[in-house]
């Protein structure tokens, strides 16, 4: 990140691909955040509706809704950390020239 990027500019740059961030990073993180918040919003909605409304008619159904809500947070974490097919994180150089050269040779990028 260069000196012209302030904290706010760097955060905005993640969305648009400036200030040294790869262009796909903003899209990738937005997709992950959207999926995570949709699942967690559904979890909260299930839990609140189970004990605010559904329990008045059927306690077993409310308990069942809470069990379903209990399973959602781990699934949301997996969705938020999943890498998509277009996320090319394995191509990023590690910073160690010898290791990068070795991996490039194994991948067939640099043939001797």
Give me the pLDDT at residue 103, please: 77
Q: What is the pLDDT of residues 60-109, one digit of tens each?
A: 999 999 999 999 999 999 988 887 666 656 666 677 888 878 877 877 76
Give the side-chain half-sphere CA count within 13 A for 104: 14
Give me the pLDDT at residue 83, please: 74
This prediction's pTM:
0.56
Vertex 104: Cα angle to 16 and 22 (nearest 5): 5
Averaged pLDDT score across all residues of the chain: 77
Q: Residue 10: pLDDT above 50?
A: no
């Amino acid at each position: 990140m260069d000196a012209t990027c302030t904290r706010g500019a760097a955060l905005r740059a993640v969305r648009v691909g400036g200030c040294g961030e790869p262009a796909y990073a903003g899209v990738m993180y937005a997709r992950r955040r959207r999926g995570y918040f949709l699942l967690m919003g559904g979890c909260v909605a299930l839990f609140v509706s189970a004990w605010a409304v559904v329990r008045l008619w059927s306690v077993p159904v409310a308990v069942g809704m809470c069990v379903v809500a209990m399973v959602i947070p781990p699934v949301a974490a997996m969705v938020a950390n999943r890498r998509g097919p277009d996320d090319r994180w394995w191509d990023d150089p590690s910073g160690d020239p010898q290791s990068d050269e070795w991996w490039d040779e194994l991948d067939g990028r640099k043939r001797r």
